[in-house]
Amino acid sequence: MRWTHKALLQRWIAALPARASQYLYFVVQRHVGGLRLTDPWSYLDTARGIADRQAGQGGTLDSAVVLEVGTGRSVMLPIGLWLLGAQRVYTYDLNTYLREELVLEDIDALRRAPGRVLGLLRGNEEMHKRLRSLQVASSLESVLDLAAIEYVSPGDARRTELPDRSIDLHVSRSVLEHIPSSQLADILVEASRLLKDNGLAIHLVDFSDHFSHSDASISAINFLRFSEHEWRKIAGNRFMYHNRLRCDDLVELMTSAGLSMKGVEPTIDDRALEVLHEGFALDRRFARKPPETNATRSAWVVAGLPRGDFTSRL
């Protein structure tokens, strides 16, 4: 679907009353969008990536307490972290998007391919036992209970009411780009309150124009040509909002929130870099940034309380 047509459809659905719009958008995604096929594997891969970056900073998921920002429609990231040893995962979402049918489809996929799960997560005997325990899960409630997941929705990650210094990890997968920068700043301040002295914030962020995921005619930086006013008209709705922060902007927000950067691992989009070198016109908000910054498609960002060194490949 052309991105302009998709934007029109999303704006029309978003204009409906909240309950009707959420249901209709789910139906559209389920039948012609990204929810047609079960894909727990990318979430498990992200869980493994979080564990690897935590280990790189000297930490471990064994008995860890984790907070996830933005549950969405799947709890596969919390399940992956639990399989890797987490003691409990709190997952917060302002919107109650989680669907039992999707969760059970994901669990069924794990049941049918335990070898793939253990291979992807590089599992041990304890992980095998945890994976086997999911065999009896027959409802969303039983999945959450077995995997020690506390789903808080509606839940505000800016004000969790959890105790100070009570979590080991603050994580998300392709969520931070959908949060207005002022709200994101508050979420990061809350993270700095919650993290233990050796805790880490580890986030995988998608900086690309999400319309480009389904329309090959545009590049991952197509949305950087629009002014704020134009972009709000195109995608200023609950289904497609993107703050368009670049990686350097996110680093600045994190440090302003009292976090110390431990690492940034950007993935540069070659096509985006090429169109920039060809003279792609950018809105003034982005015009003075280095091409590599604007062309960053995604990045792992790792931060903690102020101590240690900052390593970056920006």
Percent of the chain with pLDDT over 70: 97
From 35-44, 179-188, 223-232, 274-283, the region with the lowest mean pLDDT: 35-44
Give a yes or no: residue 226 inside a domain: no
pLDDT band with cut points at 50, 70 and 90 for residue 312: very low
pLDDT at residue 145, as a whole number: 97
Q: What is the mean pLDDT of residues 33-54?
A: 91
Sheet of strand 88-92: strand arrangement: 149-152, 88-92, 65-69, 167-173, 195-206, 296-304, 260-268, 311-312
10-42: pLDDT as tens digits:
999 989 998 888 888 888 888 777 777 778 999
Flag whether 8 is in a domain: no
Distances (CA, A) of 22 to 52, 68, 126, 143, 167: 35, 22, 39, 23, 32
- Is there a domain that residue 139 lies in? yes
> Residue 275 falls within a domain, yes or no?
yes
CATH, residue 117: 3.40.50.150
pLDDT of residue 25: 83
Confidence of residue 313 (pLDDT cuts 50, 70, 90): very low
What pLDDT does residue 81 have? Answer: 98
Residue with more model confidence, 173 or 23: 173
Residue 17 lies in a domain: no
- pLDDT value, residue 177: 98
Cβ neighbours around 159 below 10 Å, total: 11
Q: State the pLDDT at residue 56.
A: 97
Which pLDDT value is given to residue 151?
A: 98
* 3-class secondary-structure state, position 152: strand
Give the Cα separation of 253 and 249 in Å (integer).
Answer: 6
- Alpha carbons 234 and 249: distance in angstroms, whole number: 22
Supply the pLDDT for residue 256. Answer: 97
Report if residue 236 sits inside a domain. Answer: no
Q: What is the pLDDT of residue 267?
A: 98
pLDDT value, residue 196: 97
Helix runs in 84-113, H state only: 100-112
> Is 1 a domain residue?
no
Q: How many domains does the chain have?
A: 1
Residue-wise pLDDT for 91-137, tens only, equals 999 999 999 999 999 999 999 999 999 999 998 899 999 999 998 99
Decide if 237 is inside a domain: no
Collapse the DSSP code of 194 into the 3-class scheme (helix H, G, I; strand E, B; otherwise coil) and give the result.
helix
What stretches of 132-179 adopt beta strand conformation (E)? Answer: 149-152, 167-173
**Which structural domain, as residue segments, surrounds residue 297?**
38-207+245-309
